[in-house]
Amino acid sequence: MIKRQIPLIIAFILGFWFIIQFFIPNQFSQDTLIGVNKWTVMISGISMLLGIYSLIHFHYTSIKRGAPGWGFSVVLFAAFFLAITAGFLPSIVLWFKDVPKDGPPVKWLGFLPLITGLNEGSPLFWIFLNAMSPFMATMFSLIGFFIASAAFRAFRARSIEATLLLISALIIMLGQIPLGQMLWQGIPDTMVWIFNVPTTAAKRAILFGIAMGTIAFSLRIIFGIERGYLGGGKDKK
């Protein structure tokens, strides 16, 4: 009972306060917002430990059970420990270098700012530049091919809507290239009209719906009607 009531009370008080807070510009109001944002960042940072535990546990179990694709889990562990080593090692070396040989490690606090190790020229930076960036770029560039295959399916004129989509897409594609203007001067103008009138109208209609949905959903959370995010609820089966 308490497990459910306390989060609902917190949601009500904070939800209601932050609606009012939006209309109050003074220092106290801004301080509460900044305070909550700081807490959010702190909790997010701490929660990363939870994420790392989950990641290790999932892939360890995957290797142990010999689940399909367990080899990828081995690669993950290798990359994980390599990145950690690359991040910490230079800092540790620097730390020991600074410590006087015949005295206690008085500079231990100086170790803290160094632990990120993502400075230019560091091993972790090298990994980021030569592995992470190309991997990310590869994934992103795949979108081009995926768009082509998705467009091929979407542009099959099976219905009136799909035919309209096909025609609009053709005009927009032609309007973006010199060939379109060569075929007919009006194609670029038609493209701009499609962007500015029907597309904008549809976007705004969806945005109005989202805004209304946001208000209704927020009110449901604030007044404790929507409890699904807490797990379970009084919903009918």
Q: Which residues bind another protein (CB under 8 A)?
A: 19, 22-30, 40, 43-44, 47-52, 54-55, 57-58, 61, 68-69, 72, 132, 135-136, 139-140, 142-143, 146-147, 149-151, 153-154, 203, 206-210, 212-221, 223, 225-226, 228-237
Residue 170 vs 182, nearer CB to another protein: 170
Spell out the long-range contacts of 217-220 with Cβ–Cβ below 8 A and sequence spacing 24 or more: 218/15
At residue 203, what are phi and psi to the nearest 5 degrees? Answer: -60, -45
Residue 51 vs 198, nearer CB to another protein: 51
* Shortest Cβ 132–another protein spacing (Å): 8
Q: Are 117 and 82 in contact (CB under 8 A)?
A: no
* Distance, CA of 30 to CA of 36 (rounded, Å): 10
Residue 20 vs 109, nearer CB to another protein: 20
* Distance, CA of 217 to CA of 114 (rounded, Å): 44
* Distance, CA of 205 to CA of 211 (rounded, Å): 10
